[in-house]
Amino acid sequence: HISKLPDVGTTIFTVMATLAKKHRAINLAQGFPDFKMDANLIDLVTSAMKNGHNQYAPMPGDLGLREAIAKKFDLLYNTSYHPEQELTITAGATQAIFSVISAFIKPNDEVIIFRPAYDCYQPAIALNGGKTVSIALASPDFKVDWNVVKAKINSRTKMMIINTPQNPIGTIFSEADMLQLQQITKETDIIVLSDEVYEHMVFDGKKHQSVCLFPDLKSRSFIVASFGKTFHNTGWKTGYCCAPKTLMSEFRKVHQFNVFSVNHPMQKALAEYLENENHYLELSVFYQQKRDLVLSLIKDSRFKFTPSKGTYFQLLDYSEITNENDVDFAKRLTIENKLASIPISVFYDTKIESKMLRFCFAKKDDTLKRAADILNHV
């Protein structure tokens, strides 16, 4: 067989976005904003280009940007990452995740992930010969039982991937979760890959629990982040990762031959933009208003929900409406009702009973109102 990924098809995000386009449906499927990003940030890119930053950036990224990120870690989490040795700018979180996995996973190594899991983890593990060990979280609260996690750990466990706030379910890890994670990985060589792309979208006054807040955990963790999520420009594909020096130097061995470095003028612009902390601190309030708008508009519909605690996604339970599986219902809703969403069963590797779809609320209020109108008539 020539395929290295025989069981992998086209990602659900492409499938649903294509279907939405074909049927002129409102696209609450793929996660990206339908409103404009800040024009000031665009101006910073054109200035960087006019100022001549059009050749290769340094391999680990523009130093000014790495310094601005280090400052953010200090401000938000009171912790330090050395800009020269412990931070690398990447082509979005996706490349960071792929390169972390490639740098450490050897054939037969086991990687623990929590399902429903974002869909880029498992193929990267498989391409490196690793084995994905899944822990399925169940609705409605998707709580992690850390005793179950502990029972999955053995001498082959090389890595654990966590994602808080978690896409597609909109849950967050509490401080107690993080302490348990720290405890069960203590005195192991397990590397924790912490996907924190939604760190600035945490609702109801809760605090984002980054791995870097827990010193022992920080010492064996990578954090990956995405500017696309934070600054409403997913098409720029810029992000970063950070880790203690010894881990980061292994990461860079892969990164330098994977992309070498990423888009230079955008890094210059982001470095300047990041200096104003309001550009990210106001995000939770901004998205909580959007979540609350949608939920208030559909409160009398036949969809049931638990409010999203983080991310810009909301799960809706359609079990009162139909017995169809979520893939069929998501397609029918797109074709017949002109509203696209994402079925969540595709993020599991076992059959699930729950009937839920994921809707993205990173949209103009007008888009959300039109979508709510449809949901109220299903």
Residues that bind ligand PMP (CB under 6 A): 31, 92-94, 118, 163, 167, 195, 197, 226, 228-229, 234, 237, 239
Q: Which does 195 bind (CB under 5 to 8 A by kind): ligand PMP, ligand GLN, none?
A: ligand PMP
Q: Which does 239 bind (CB under 5 to 8 A by kind): ligand GLN, ligand PMP, none?
A: ligand PMP
Closer residue to ligand PMP (CB): 102 or 301? 102
Closer residue to ligand PMP (CB): 118 or 378? 118
Cα 15 to Cα 29, 98, 252, 316: the distances in Å are: 10, 22, 33, 20
- From the number of C-beta atoms within 10 Å of its C-beta (0-12, 13-18, 19+), residue 235 rates as exposed
Cβ proximity of 24 and 225 under 8 Å: no
CA pair distance 375, 302, nearest whole angstrom: 8
DSSP sequence for 24-55: T-EE-SS---SSPPPHHHHHHHHHHHHTT--S
Closer residue to ligand GLN (CB): 73 or 361? 361
- From the number of C-beta atoms within 10 Å of its C-beta (0-12, 13-18, 19+), residue 146 rates as middle
List the 313-317 sheet strands across, edge first: 313-317, 356-360, 342-343
- In the complex, the smallest distance separating the C-beta of residue 235 from ligand GLN, rounded to whole angstroms, is 11
9 CB-side CA count, 13 A: 6
Closer residue to ligand PMP (CB): 48 or 197? 197
Helix (H), strand (E) at residue 291? helix 283-297
Please state whether beta strands 342-343 and 239-242 pair in parallel, antiparallel, or not at all (unpaired). unpaired
The verdict on whether omega for the bond into residue 140 sits within 30 degrees of 0, i.e. cis, is yes
Q: Which does 61 bind (CB under 5 to 8 A by kind): ligand GLN, ligand PMP, none?
A: none
- In the complex, the smallest distance separating the C-beta of residue 345 from ligand PMP, rounded to whole angstroms, is 17
Q: Which does 280 bind (CB under 5 to 8 A by kind): ligand GLN, ligand PMP, none?
A: none
Closer residue to ligand PMP (CB): 77 or 227? 227
- In the complex, the smallest distance separating the C-beta of residue 313 from ligand PMP, rounded to whole angstroms, is 8
Interaction between residue 167 and ligand GLN (CB under 6 A): yes
Number of residues that bind ligand GLN (CB under 6 A): 5
Indicate the residue whose CB is closest to ligand GLN.
31
Contacts of 352 (CB under 8 A, 6+ apart): 136, 138, 344, 345
Q: Which does 228 bind (CB under 5 to 8 A by kind): ligand PMP, ligand GLN, none?
A: ligand PMP
- In the complex, the smallest distance separating the C-beta of residue 93 from ligand PMP, rounded to whole angstroms, is 3
Helix (H, G, I), strand (E, B) or coil at 15: helix
Closer residue to ligand GLN (CB): 209 or 311? 311
Interaction between residue 163 and ligand GLN (CB under 6 A): no
Q: Which does 30 bind (CB under 5 to 8 A by kind): ligand GLN, ligand PMP, none?
A: ligand GLN
Q: Which does 361 bind (CB under 5 to 8 A by kind): ligand GLN, ligand PMP, none?
A: none
Q: Which does 93 bind (CB under 5 to 8 A by kind): ligand GLN, ligand PMP, none?
A: ligand PMP
Helix (H), strand (E) at residue 293? helix 283-297
CA pair distance 291, 368, nearest whole angstrom: 9
Cβ proximity of 193 and 66 under 8 Å: no
Contacts of 27 (CB under 8 A, 6+ apart): 16, 17, 20, 21, 34, 340
Mask 16-55, x = binds ligand GLN (CB under 6 A)?
--------------xx------------------------
> Where on the chain is the footprint of ligand GLN (CB under 6 A)?
11, 13, 30-31, 167
